[in-house]
Amino acid sequence: MPPESLELHIDYLISQFVDWLTVNYAGVFEQISDIIITLLLSVRHVFLIIPWWLLIAIIGIVGWLLTRRVTTTVTLVTLSFVIVFFGMWRPAIDTLSLVLTSVIIAIGLGIPVGVLMAEFDVINTVVTPILDMMQTLPGFVYLIPAIMLFGLGKVPATIATLIYSTPPVVRFTNIGLRQVSSEIMESATAFGTTRFQLLKEIRLPLAATSILGGINQTIMMALAMTVIASMIGAGGLGKHVLVAINRLKVGAGFEAGFSIVCLAIVIDRLSSGIAEHWRPPES
Amino acid sequence: MVVSNQKHIEVSNFWKIFTHDQEKIDVGSPEEIKRVEKDDSKVIAVRDVSFEVNRTEVFVIMGLSGSGKSTLVRCLLRLVEPTQGKAIMDGTDVTSLDKKELISFRREKIAMVFQHYGLFPHRTVIENAAFGLKIRGESKENRRKKATEVLETVGLAGWEDYYPAELSGGMRQRVGIARALSNDPPILLMDEPTSGLDPLIRRELQEELLHLQEKMEKTTVYITHDLDEALRLGDRLAVMKAGRFVQSGTPKEVLQNPADDYVARFVKDKQEQLKEAEVI
């Protein structure tokens, strides 16, 4: 054991900094809180207005339209029913609302950042290590700053989810834009496109498949994180797993856990189906 | 600016030196050029090229790959920035344009056809053909009308709503040509438009181009590595080697009096064919 005299703690400094932040910028955090809570409640409101059977029907129809495959459609509907059978519909809707809320914000922030990275190499150089860090840190770590600034509840849960799940959509936007072939960009430039026109007419549409792939990844990571974020009050399916663990109820834990898997597969199939649909015809 | 009606394109002392660093090179000094030649990190792609093209003339630049012909034509549109030189096209000194002027020059005065078509895979044939019109802000009806017309001219009527990927190579290049023509620019640049095509299709497209040229009378700079093509399409031609024009003149002049060994080798087969034909 190293001697105690070598220990050098900075915890009190960080606590002081956070205190200072929360005191001096209380208004800002409150506003962020309000925005997130409003968004979250409206998303959940939409899902709760729709009767459960109608939602399952919509999942089936959309699944069919996107994939045109009977097996996929039947699987999606069956998995949705599994959630119903386990009595997990309401918590699943809670989880789904939180996922969608953070994904909406992640897309709103992530695509513009990705575009800026593709347009300006300087921004690319600066942001890339930040993204690397965001993705290498284990999800747990994000709970700390979220709680520090926003306390417990759905808002910090959304924030933690947001931080964890934003990198893919940023990266895929950047990569998608950069991968547009130089021949195509050259011919567009030859016709007198401005930088903005080139982005809007050529690069963004051609990067759409990649961007949607990134959104799919973001959704999946958000789902993973909302489960972890149940520790700070995300509620939903994660809470049921957490409670089951604490009470050593293996069966209940399985039901909740399996519902998460079902939800994950349904969301993944639907969102990757949309991404696939966007692909321009190739030679 | 008043320019004589005759000279539609005037390129003088054009240089393009590729460097990794953005070093400024004074092409006027022979010592500096010698230094650049020895430096492996720098490539002289275009070397003191000057030429003129008259209105409605087809000027062919012929050369093997790596001779700098594609770079030269890209410099005219400033897709590649020339290191030094002056290019006056349709009365505009292209080399002195600022960003905004360059964009409107590209929109109004000139259009280019590419070897690998450069079509937009996410747009239909008619959207591709109307691209230049859209970029310069023409109304939807106008775009549709003009693009439909041009597609008909190049023989693609009925293919409007297909995607480029669904078309054969020859048809794709027709879309590329339609896209260039729909802008109705006075000047056309063609960078080996037929070299990716089968011999039969190539011939067909060449005939089509001759036909179009008769009708539209565009001043054209045409790049090719194919002597047959150069002779068929060109009013005048220049042979390019290692960034330089080694000879220029009418096809007949070049065939009869090749300026050096390189040109002679280029035209040898053709001369023999002609001789054989005379014997028969």
Confidence of residue A62 (pLDDT cuts 50, 70, 90): very high
For residue A156, the surrounding DSSP H or E stretch is helix A154-178
pTM value?
A: 0.85
The per-residue pLDDT for A99 is 93
A-B contacts at Cβ under 8 angstroms: 71
Residue B102 has pLDDT above 90, yes or no: yes
The per-residue pLDDT for B228 is 85
Contacts with A239 (C-beta within 8 Å, 6 or more apart), sequence order: A91, A230
Q: Do B135 and A197 touch (CB under 8 A)?
A: yes
Confidence of residue B61 (pLDDT cuts 50, 70, 90): very high
Q: What is the mean pLDDT of chain A?
A: 90
Q: What is the DSSP letter of B269?
A: H
Confidence of residue B1 (pLDDT cuts 50, 70, 90): very low
On whether ipTM exceeds 0.90, the answer is no
Distance of CA B211 to the CA centre of its chain: 18
Q: Do B103 and A283 touch (CB under 8 A)?
A: no
Confidence of residue A204 (pLDDT cuts 50, 70, 90): very high
Residue A236's region, left for phi above 0, alpha for psi from -120 to 50, else beta, is: left
φ, ψ for residue B47, nearest 5 deg: -130, 105
Q: What percent of chain B has pLDDT over 90?
A: 39
The per-residue pLDDT for B4 is 45
**Each residue's pLDDT tens digit, A76-122:** 999 999 999 999 999 999 999 999 999 999 999 999 999 999 999 99
Residue B20 has pLDDT above 90, yes or no: no
Q: Do A191 and B183 touch (CB under 8 A)?
A: yes
- Cα separation values, A108 from A1, A95, A103, A122, B102, Å: 49, 20, 8, 21, 34
d(CA A88, CA A66): 26
The label of the residue with tokens 């065939």 reads B255
Higher-pLDDT residue of A280 and B236 is B236
Q: Do A190 and B116 touch (CB under 8 A)?
A: no
Nearest residue, CB atoms, B118 vs list A183, A192, A208: A183
- Cα separation values, A156 from A43, B164, B181, Å: 17, 49, 58
Nearest residue, CB atoms, A191 vs list B122, B131, B163: B131
Tally of CA atoms within 13 A in the half-sphere of B172 that contains its CB = 23
**Each residue's pLDDT tens digit, B201-213:** 888 889 888 988 8
Residue A283 has pLDDT above 60, yes or no: no
Q: What percent of chain B has pLDDT over 70?
A: 98
Rounded to 10 deg, the angle between the A236-246 and A250-277 helix axes is 150
Residues B238-259: b if buried by 16+ CB within 10 A, e if exposed: bbbbebbbbbbeebeebbeebe
- Cα separation values, B164 from A28, A189, B122, B127, B172, Å: 51, 19, 8, 10, 6
- Lowest mean pLDDT segment, chosen from A43-52, A172-181, B3-12: B3-12
d(CA A256, CA A240): 6
d(CA A277, nearest CA chain B) in Å:
13
φ, ψ for residue A91, nearest 5 deg: -60, -35
The per-residue pLDDT for B280 is 63
Residue pair B39/B71 in contact by the 8 Å Cβ criterion:
no
Q: What is the DSSP letter of A6?
A: G
Q: Do B165 and A281 touch (CB under 8 A)?
A: yes
Higher-pLDDT residue of A38 and B196 is A38
What pairing do the DSSP bridges indicate for beta strands B236-241 and B84-89?
unpaired
